[in-house]
Amino acid sequence: MRGMSILLGVLLLLGLSCGAVSAAAGAPGRCTTSTPVKSYAKCIALPTQGATLAWTYDARNATLDAAFTGSFISPSGWVAWGVNQDAPAMAGARVIAAFSDPSTGALLALPFVLSPDVKLQAKPLVSRPLDIPLLASSATLISPARTVRDGASVTIAVTIRLSPNRTSLHFVWNRGLYVQGYSPTIHPTDASDLASHATVDILTTATESSPIASAKLQWAHGTLNALSWGLLLPIGAALARYLRPCASAGPAAWFYAHAATQAAGYLLGAAGFALGIAMGAASPGVTYKLHRGLGIAAATAGSLQTLAVFFRPKTTNRYRKYWKSYHHLLGYGCVVIGVVNVFQGFEVMGLGASYWKLGYCMALATVIGGCVALEVNAWVVFCRRQQEEKLMRREVEDVVVKDRAAAF
């Protein structure tokens, strides 16, 4: 247990330090009213992706002259910004997307309407004229960038005519990794990406945006759950299966090892689950339905397993076999759901191709490899015992036959 405490501390420290770096990468940028296009009257730093927005509003003709500045995350990526007239959400927004022309390499600024079916990825996103008064639009790379690349900054300049006396606007923005033809593909689903929207009063610069759970909280949640649901619970299940036949360890050693490991895993998993609930409450505009559903299923199964211990029948009870079947099926199901959800969590945190996921895969592969080796050994021992028992039965039968023959 002391070694496990040290491991937990190291993982938490590493996770929190990496989370701090992640938080710095997603921190708001510093706004400026001077852009490569022209100068504007006001500006704000948008809450995610280091993006900024500068604008000039002409109340006489209700015209908004705006410049959004964001950054690409890949050479074949896209950056988009727009307005949603109904709500601070992606569905229903009218946006301008900037990306390289697949044919010439020139920087394009094309209009898109984000209908609800686009959010469901029912069909590719196709450029079409906006149904709002768009007077002008353009995209310009910010020096020293000359071509679209990872980290290159771009300014999307737009002039639109607003409804009279409407100064509170819902802005949305985002960026993606790929463009298929002239169709931007889905953006990453990190918390900061899903929260890339804000309501801004263009007269006072007052901004309302969805709060995002802190990076430290996210990393603590991920570390606890990977260690508990993803490692300790599978190890505890393996101890019950493979340590039980080992007579040299003592008749009850497997039970205490299994119970201690599962109890530690469940307590850490419960703490991670509680952090997940807190993160959900802190980020009302950010939802991960699959990850949340799997987490609830794993926590429910783990809680039922814990409660089942208090209702375990005695070995002589006729219902004991049914309890064992229930305990085994629910336990293995909890392990499978927990491991699957850990991988889903890596995707949610944007760590699908990270060394963190690689490290977890190596640890899990070690556990699985050990289980495979022990399973093979168990079957070898079982087959050997069957053979020995078969030979013993034959020897007994031969002795009986000889005794009967001698009797006659």
Residue 103 tokens, joined: 């044919």
166-189 pLDDT tens trace = 889 999 999 999 999 899 998 887
pLDDT value of position 348: 80
pLDDT the model gives residue 6:
37
The better pLDDT of the pair 93, 211 is held by 93
If one compares 144 and 97, the residue with the highest pLDDT of the two is: 97
In angstroms, rounded to a whole number, what is the distance separating the alpha carbons of residues 34 and 20?
30
Binding-site residues, in ranges, read 221, 258, 291, 327
- Better-scored residue on pLDDT, 362 or 117: 362
- Which DSSP state fits 210? -
pLDDT at 110: 95
Q: What pLDDT is attached to residue 29?
A: 62
**Cβ burial 139-150 (10 Å sphere, 16+ → b, else e):** bbbeeeeeebbe
Model confidence pLDDT, tens digit, residues 63-119: 999 999 999 999 999 999 999 988 888 888 999 999 999 989 899 999 999 887 776
Q: Check whether 3 has a pLDDT greater than 60.
A: no
Q: For 224-236, what is the mean pLDDT?
A: 93
> CA 182 to CA 187: how far, in whole Å?
15
Contact between 70 and 49 (Cβ < 8 Å): yes
Verdict on whether the full-model pTM lies above 0.85? no
Binding site, annotated residues for heme b:
221, 258, 291, 327
SS (H, E, C) 55-93: EEEECCCCEEEEEEEEECCCCCCEEEEEEECCCCCCCCC
Please give the Cα distance from 385 to 48 (Å, whole number). Answer: 64
In this prediction, what percent of the chain has a pLDDT beyond 90?
Answer: 41
Q: What is the DSSP letter of 249?
A: G
- Using the predicted structure, report yes or no on whether residue 405 has a pLDDT greater than 80: no
- Average pLDDT over the chain, rounded to whole? 83
